[in-house]
Amino acid sequence: MHYKEYKSILSPKNGMNIYRGCSHGCIYCDSRSKCYQMKHQFEDIEVKKNAPQMLEMELLRKRKKCMVGTGAMGDPYIELEEKLCYTRQCIEIIDRYGFGLAIQTKSNRILRDIDLLKSINKKSKCVVQLTLTTYDEDMCRIIEPNVSTTKERFEALKIFRDNGIPTVVWLTPFLPYINDTEENIRGLLKYCIEAKVYGIISFGIGLTLREGNREFFYNKLDEKFPQLKQKYIDKFGYSYICNSDNHNRLMKILNMECKKHGIICNPNSIFSYMHTYESKIESNQLSLF
């Protein structure tokens, strides 16, 4: 871990990443790709030392309230967060100034901050996004070794459901020859249906590989799944998109189940929902008249 001072934290679309790098150890992680120009070892996590202060200043300068997003490139609930509480400090600021929040993680550590998430959702909108990839708990420990298990994330989804906080699940990635099976996707969909998630985001049954994350992934295949690396090389070469042979069949199942249970599965519709700020206080005031 190391600290670095930054001059700003919010992107033009109001996204932020408090940490750069990760300790989850997911074998498929796209954030390892060289295109993101991380100039330090991925596990040597860079902490934006003045993140809460920067966020407060930038929110105070905004003329209109908006949704603030976090977690797209760096999980806000890595193990370091237990000690540093930078994510909690930033959420406190978002809550204090009445902004909305769309937060993405793979960790049930997010439950620590449910008091703040409920407060934000009461005044505006808080959307919690959790990634699910593997229904089988043993397989989960292999491909996502340092993350809350799938069942633990499912239990978190139910807690958010019971507290009226909308949730979105990212069903991705599905690794060819590993977790790209009907049994896996139906198990994950069962969790989503029971948790009454608002939406499911999936861009297909497969994964993406490019320079940086491809090498790490192949090394892990050699370690965890001997013989598979050559199958990937033979089938995908240096392709960025590596779709499963089961792509069409499993996507059909996903879309049918979402339609049947009223779950939004159009990515553009979900992103629009997560980026649209709502003021419940103003709505309640107008309803009085």
Radius of gyration of the chain, Cα coordinates, nearest whole angstrom: 19
CATH superfamily of 2-278: Aldolase class I (3.20.20.70)
Which pTM does this prediction carry? 0.94
Does the structure show a pLDDT above 70 at 285? no
Region 49-78: mean pLDDT is 96
The burial of 227, by beta-carbon neighbours within 10 Å (0-12 exposed, 13-18 middle, 19 or more buried), is given as exposed
48 phi, psi to nearest 5 deg: -75, 95
pLDDT, residue 288, reads 44
> Cα dihedral sign for 123, 264, 30, 79?
positive
pLDDT, residue 135, reads 98
Region 230-243: mean pLDDT is 96
| Higher pLDDT among residues 282 and 14, named by residue | 14
202 phi, psi to nearest 5 deg: -145, 130
> In the chain, where are the structural domains located?
2-278
Burial readout 63-80 (b: 16 or more C-beta within 10 A, e: otherwise): eebbbbbbbbbbbbbbeb
Does the structure show a pLDDT above 80 at 283? no
> pLDDT tens for residues 154-211?
999 999 999 999 999 999 999 999 999 999 999 999 999 999 999 999 999 999 999 9
* Neighbour count for residue 190 (Cβ, 10 Å): 13
pLDDT, residue 282, reads 66
pLDDT, residue 284, reads 57
* Neighbour count for residue 215 (Cβ, 10 Å): 13
State the Cα angle at 107 between 183 and 280, rounded to 5°. Answer: 105
Looking at the chain, the whole-number percentage of residues with pLDDT higher than 70 is 97
> pLDDT tens for residues 103-162?
999 999 999 999 999 999 999 999 999 999 999 999 999 999 999 999 999 999 999 999
pLDDT, residue 280, reads 84
Q: What is the maximum span of the chain, computed from C-alpha positions, in angstroms?
A: 68
| Higher pLDDT among residues 284 and 6, named by residue | 6
Region 53-61: mean pLDDT is 97
